[in-house]
Amino acid sequence: MDLKTLTSLSGVSGDEYEVRDGIIKELDSMGVSYECDVLGNVIARKGNKGPKVIIDAHMDEVGLVITYIEKNGFLRFATVGGIDSRVLVSKRVLIGKHRTPGVIGAKAIHLQERDERNRVIPSDQLFIDIGASSKEEAERKVKQGDYVIFDTEYEELSDGIVKAKGLDDRVGCAILLEVLKEPWEDINLYAVFATQEEVGLRGAKVAAYGIEPDMGLAIEGTVCADIPGTDKEFQATRLGQGAALSIMDSGSIPNRAMLKELIRLAKENDIPVQFREATSGGNDAAAIQQARAGCPVASVSVPCRYIHTPCSLMSMSDFEAAKQLVIAFLKSVEGGFRP
């Protein structure tokens, strides 16, 4: 399954069914064994000896959920995951399993008071307009509890530069599927396609507890801020400069032996890498690191501009670098590396 297909699927946190079904179909076609747990994680297995290693990517994306339908047919919503309210106004969305189209609306600037124009409109003052004139008409198309995704199509903007919704973390899911094509033997490999990362790392926490791994890698789409107005020291990562390795984030500190091995492998195999020059944010490595009696972890990320918005952007060269580095690391584990 390619990245275009993966990003087109709906998978807001807690509603990852469409993504999960697509991944399961792909695993079936590959002949890879898997199981699903109570939280909806898909845990694929390959290899049957050696250390237990988790490679993790989360299936869920940030989005919205319908909380209330007004008498006049407008829809109230809540955000699911960390979304900046400034990016919401006027965005096109798709609601529920039938993908009912809508637009996020707000009071027009012509009608706003002076103080309203100078502040961000909070999400609880926004609404979704589906063109319905009454609650009854709206309820024929949508219902309370329906999830909402952003209406953004995958597109190649220039050679190797793509834009889509949900790159955080469908890039990781795509890498896991590529990794599972390799003939792993001297390793107990658990590829976890995790749920509910954006609302508290919940899926990875459950999966890692059950697996009790010897080490773990979180594969993630991470923040990239190499844009106008951002000083060099605050850019975190840069598009096209390779896979990003974390030094530390808000949830985990990578095992230094694993980080050193990733750097060595990158140099040895001419894989471009960069450090994630920020410590804010986090990913499923935090949940894996704290499973049971603890687990050494590291993160390999793909820089993505504008994550947690309706549309993000990435370089396929960074995606390829991350994929190659993960494969090289797992082969090193097969060769005897231990943290």
Q: Which of the residues are catalytic? A: 197
SS3 61: strand
From the list 44, 46, 48, 52, the residue with the least C-alpha distance to 338 is 52
SS3 34: strand
120 C-beta neighbours (distance < 10 Å), count: 11
- Kindly give the pairing relationship between strand 63-69 and strand 52-58: unpaired
From the list 192, 137, 152, 194, the residue with the least C-alpha distance to 313 is 152
Is residue 312 a contact partner of residue 306, using CB atoms and an 8 Å limit?
yes
| 121: DSSP letter | P
Show contacts of 15-18: CB within 8 Å, 24+ apart.
Answer: 15/147, 16/40, 16/59, 16/60, 16/195, 16/196
From the list 165, 160, 161, the residue with the least C-alpha distance to 6 is 165
SS3 percent helix, strand, coil of the chain, rounded to 5, is 30, 30, 40
From the list 38, 6, 33, the residue with the least C-alpha distance to 22 is 6
Rounded (5°) CA angle 77-83-86: 90
